[in-house]
Structure 1
Amino acid sequence: MAQSPPEETDGSGEAERSEESAQTKGGEERAPSLWRNRDYLSWWTGNGLSTLGTSVSTLAFPLLMLYETGSATQAGTITVLHMLGKLGTLAVGGALADRISRRAILCVVPLIEALAMGAVALLVYRGDPAVLALDLLALVSGLAAGLKIGVSTPVLRRVVPKEQIANATAQGMGRDMVLQLLGAPLGGLLYSAARWIPFLFDALSFVFVTLGTLFIRRPLGPDRKNDEQRPGLLTEMGDGLRMIRRSDYLRFTIAWGALLNTVAQGFTLLFIVLVQHRGGSPTAVGVVTSLAVAGGVVGAVLGPTLMQQLGARRVLHAAAWIFVASFAVVGLVPEPWQIGLVMMVGMISMVPMNVVTESYEVRLVPDAYLGRVAATSRFCFQGVQWVGPLAAGVLADTLGPESAALVLAGVMAVLAVVLHLGRRNLALLDSPLADVQELPAPNDRDPQDEDPQDQDPEDGVLTGPSKGSAS
């Protein structure tokens, strides 16, 4: 295999942007298909296999704890520990992604996850594994996962041309949904063969992230000068927060997206309750879940085309209101299969919404800060999502599942209205994705010193007469 270019370079980011500009200048040249991009395929395949392995162990862990202890609380505890570990290192992982070699992080951290899952497989293989040991290994796996997540977004930006970010984002979401759909039955099959096999399968899947990273040829960053003085880790994490605070778009979409994710997580529990309330069997719950995931895959395919044809703002508004309608209708239809169809429609709208917000974030944030900003976004989303299922459960027990669905539909309607009221905050969406200008670094210049006729530093949209005005 050819030697990878050095990670620490001076100005390679500028060269990369110049190459992207040449590809898109005047719309005369069209970038080749992502499937012909060897670096993208290496990233896509390695992460996809890891997602499949994680889907398998996600099912196997609760089954194992139920089998070992007979306690649903213990089954939930091991899942919570993994989530807490991931939240605990998300922000640090984002800061490290902008500070040290991203290639090194993506090569080493998955091996730590592989060792943790391999240890679980070994303990289960030997018989009668200690519950505390399993809990600790789940926590270690979560801590490592948080570090890895912080690197994923800036690495994707390095391996994909800017005009293809939306396609790559949608393809990643579609891939993960398909693999999650396959992972649950595969996990059950492997667990039935032998209880330790799913964990060994997951351990081996992490190795493919490392291999995929090694096969990526282009520099993954971060770019920096050899004599550059780096501030402390906490200072750099603060710079990421300052980058978010200076952008209307980032502040709005992170806060709005966190609330949306909380509602969506609550509805994930609620539609299962509705299927059971309508007389559906566990098999029916699985079928309904599969229909919802299939809708997400369709949405991933349609997302980039809709964004290009209708515009990002229209896609966001339409998706939000379709989601509202799905919440309302799902509580009224009488049959489980009808619930599945409604959920499919809802998921078809949900994925393009995510494609829009994530794609514009990737284009707006400079490479040197993308790890921190992306990790902060995910921390906000995941840090409050537990409220959704808890609130949905309380509403279902108190009001009944149909009324609870209508309450969530009302909350979602409020979020949809907020999208319309936040027009200024979302002005960035009126500019084509490839024309989005990066925000200046927090310490480069004060936004108040900018000529307002040249650039709005909060939106990242050129407003001067030479580039046209963004509404």
Structure 2
Amino acid sequence: MLEVGTAPRLRSWLRYRQDLTMDSLTSTSPRNLWRQRDFQLLIGGRLVSQLGDQLQFLALPLLVVTLTGSAIEAGVILGLQTVLYLVFGPVAGALADRWDRKSTMIWCEVGRGALTATVPIAAAFGALGMPQLYLVAVLNGVLSTLFGAANSSALPNIVTKTDLPAALGTVGAMSNALRILGGTVAGLAYAVGRTFPFAFNAASFLASAAALRAIRADFQQERATASASPRVLVADIGHGLAWLWRRPVIRTLAVIDAADSLRYGAGYLLIIMLAQRLDANPTQVGIVFTGAGAGALLGSLLAPALTRRFPLGALSITMLWVEALAFPFYAVAPTWWLLLVVAFAESVVSPIYNVALDSYRLAVTPDALRGRVTSAIDALTTGSAAIGALVSGALIAVLGAPALTLVLAGWLAVLALAATLSRTVRTATSTTSPDLTA
């Protein structure tokens, strides 16, 4: 059982300071990540799984609209895949800190593969319906929450803290390069067969599990051995939240991210409906998201160098203002290919900010708390995105896609102004020094 008293916190702090000192002595410059076998396996498995997710994420709302004719139901089922972060996320983080992270990730991948495979199997027998899609979305949401908490906590044990910006930038660049391919392939895959993306995704989960099993490194430095009773988990969650509350930079930017994620969750279905309003076919809808992937790829390639050069506060404020100024152009684009141009421009800045913030957060968070801190932030950001997805269909039906686009642009402008006026955000630096200011 992890204690919550003063002495255990002091021991954890001393171990953390020792880790920072050793990193500064042994790692003066980023190493070649592509020569590190464990990193290769980690990113390889992730990319295969992400390709499957890319195909399914575009196919799912299109399949729901085909089965029901309802944009509202499409928004609901997209939100159900992630809304569980609000309820299960804190528990998942505590379990990720207590359980073996590697085994947890492997079994989550196996479980998600088995669940996703039921969709094409049911379709082959003519038995596919909305109740099954809702059940698969909920159960996959539970496993995805637990996998995400363990996965986000593992990277600093695969690479050093000095390598984190380069590692996160590489992961982002490879992921976004895959998005460029995946957006187009997703539309083509759906055209081949409505459930083919689900079959591919099921296989990708199993490939990811195999890659994780081959990694030699431990995914955590230490973990509690006491049983994870409800009372112990509640205490663990409280310890993680208390640590996060005392870090104003991470806390403030997490709240801003959560508010931005409301727009992001609504934006996915919104862009699909805007494209269909311009008579775009499924392949062209996929190409629009390819434009977003290309912009994010550029941002990921620039992120490591910019993270080292500019402070975290400046990057976050710049990201919000660029998003606020670019988003209204979605509403006035007269053709689907101009939607692609807007998607590209808007997507460049977000990966730069994400690499800077994630590098900072992972570096300053002790390993024994990473699952809980990560899950607490995910509960805010992913939960907010889920709420945005849940209400997006209803808002589109009431306001119309162009009007909702302008409303979301105004929301982004409010967030950008709030960040600009916040002294905590303005003075945030991209450093591995602990965030102790009040």
Q: Taking structure 2 as the reference length, what is the TM-score of the superposition?
A: 0.83
Distance in 2 separating the partners of 1:331 and 1:68? 28
1:457 matches 2:436: yes
Asked if 1:82 is matched to 2:81, the reply is yes
Partner of 1:382: 382
One-letter amino acid of the structure 1 residue matched with residue 127 of structure 2: D
For the structure 1 residues 241 and 334, does the alpha-carbon distance in structure 2 shift closer, same or farther, using more than 3 Å as the test?
same
Structure 2 CA distance for partners of 1:202 and 1:88, relative to 1, 3 Å: farther
Alpha-carbon spacing, 1:267–1:108, altered in 2? closer, same or farther (3 Å): closer
CA-based RMSD of the aligned residues comes to 3.5
Shift in Å at residue 86 of structure 1?
A: 5.2
CA deviation map 1:364-399 (0-9, x unaligned):
211111111111111111222245467777777777
Q: In 2, distance between residues paired with 1:257 and 1:15?
A: 31
Question: 2 CA distance for matches of 1:287 and 1:191?
Answer: 13
Report the Cα offset of residue 209 of structure 1: 2.6
* Aligned: 1:261 with 2:258: no
Q: CA 1:183–1:338 in structure 2 vs 1: closer, same or farther (change >3 Å)?
A: closer
- 1:246 to partner: Cα distance: 1.3
1: CA distance, partners of 2:70 / 2:270? 23
Q: 1:83 to 1:407 in 2, by over 3 A?
A: closer
Q: How far did 1:404 drift?
A: 4.7
Residue identity (%): 27
Hey, what does 1:155 align to over in structure 2?
154
Give the match for residue 464 of structure 1.
Answer: none
Equivalent residues of 1:101, 1:222 under 8 A apart = no
CA contact (8 A) 2:74 2:393 kept: no
CA distance, structure 2, for counterparts of residue 137 and residue 227 of structure 1: 32
Structure 2 CA distance for aligned equivalents of residues 47 and 353 of structure 1: 21
**Which residue pairs with 2:215 in the alignment?**
216
Alignment-mate amino acid for residue 358 of structure 1: D
Change (3 A) 1:320 1:98: same
Partners of 1:71 and 1:346 lie apart in 2 by: 28
Residue 364 of structure 2 corresponds to 364
* 2:105–2:147 CA contact under 8 A, matched in 1: yes
Gapped runs of 5+ residues in structure 1?
A: 1-9, 438-455, 460-471
Partner of 1:135: 134
Quick one: distance in 2 between partners of 1:336 and 1:192? 18
Change (3 A) 1:425 1:79: closer
Q: Which residue is 1:345 aligned to?
A: 345
| Aligned-partner residue type, residue 53 of structure 1 | G
1:20 corresponds, among 1, 19, 23, to: 23
Bigger radius of gyration, 1 or 2?
1
| Total equivalences in the alignment | 424
User: In structure 2, how many angstroms separate the alpha carbons of the residues matched to 1:375 and 1:273?
Assistant: 31
CA offset digits 1:262-310 (Å, max 9, x no partner): 1233444555555566x45336544333222211111111122222233
Report if aligned partners of 1:116, 1:137 keep a CA contact under 8 Å in 2.
Answer: yes
Residues 344-371 of structure 1 deviation map (CA, whole Å, 9 limit, x = unaligned): 1111112212222222111121111111
| Residues 128, 265 of structure 1: alpha-carbon distance in 2 compared, 3 angstrom cutoff | closer
Q: Could you give the per-residue CA deviations for residues 186-215 of structure 1, whole angstroms, max 9, x where no partner exists?
A: 445445555554333222211223222222
Alignment match, 1:320: 320
Q: 2:19 and 2:403 mapped to 1: Cα distance?
A: 53
Name the amino acid aligned to 1:114: G
**Separation in 2 of the partners of 1:263 and 1:146?**
21
Question: Structure 2: which amino acid aligns with 1:211?
Answer: A
For residues 201-280 of structure 1, the aligned pairs below 5 Å read 201-224=200-223, 232-272=232-272, 274-275=274-275, 279=278
Q: Which has the higher contact order (CA 8 A, sep 6+)?
A: 2
Aligned to 2:8: none
CA distance in 2 between counterparts of 1:201 and 1:192 reads 14
Asked if the contact 1:125–1:196 (Cα under 8 Å) also holds between the matched residues in 2, the reply is no
Q: Which amino acid aligns with 1:366?
A: P
Deviation at 1:134, TM superposition (A): 4.1
Q: Which residue of 1 aligns with 2:4?
A: none
Which residue does the alignment assign to 1:436?
433
Q: Which moved more, 1:340-349 or 1:394-403?
A: 394-403
Change beyond 3 A, Cα 1:104–1:286? closer
Describe the shift of the 1:171–1:31 C-alpha distance in structure 2 as closer, same or farther (beyond 3 A): closer
Aligned-partner Cα distance in 2 for 1:269–1:192? 19
Q: What is residue 106 of structure 1 aligned with on the other side?
A: 105
2: CA distance, partners of 1:330 / 1:188: 20
Q: 1:200 to 1:270 in 2, by over 3 A?
A: closer
Instruction: Give the stretch that moved more between structures: 183-192 or 310-319.
Output: 183-192
Please tell me whether the aligned partners of residues 280 and 336 of structure 2 are also in contact (alpha carbons under 8 angstroms).
Answer: no
Tell me how far apart the structure 2 counterparts of residues 342 and 146 of structure 1 sit (CA, whole Å). Answer: 31
Corresponding residue of 1:413: 413
Distance (whole Å) between structure 2 residues aligned to residue 201 and residue 272 of structure 1: 22
Q: Structure 2 CA distance, aligned partners of 1:76 and 1:339?
A: 20
Contact persistence 2:184–2:287 (CA under 8 A): no
Structure 2 counterpart of 1:126, one-letter code:
F
Aligned match of 1:120: 119
Larger CA deviation: 124-133 vs 99-108: 124-133
CA distance in 2, matches of 1:334, 1:362: 42
- Which residue number corresponds to residue 7 of structure 2? none
* One-letter amino acid of the structure 1 residue matched with residue 123 of structure 2: V
Counterpart CA distance in 1 for 2:45 and 2:260 is 29
Bigger mean CA offset, 405-414 vs 142-151: 405-414
Distance 1:318 1:214, change over 3 A: same
Deviations 1:100-121 (A, max 9, x none): 2111211222111122123334
Determine the C-alpha separation between the residues in 1 that align with 2:228 and 2:375: 23
Q: CA deviation at 1:421?
A: 2.0
* Distance in 2, Cα, partners of 1:79 & 1:229: 31
Residues 85 and 140 in structure 1, CA contact (< 8 A), matched pair in contact too: no
* 8 Å contact from structure 1 (residues 320, 416) kept in 2: yes
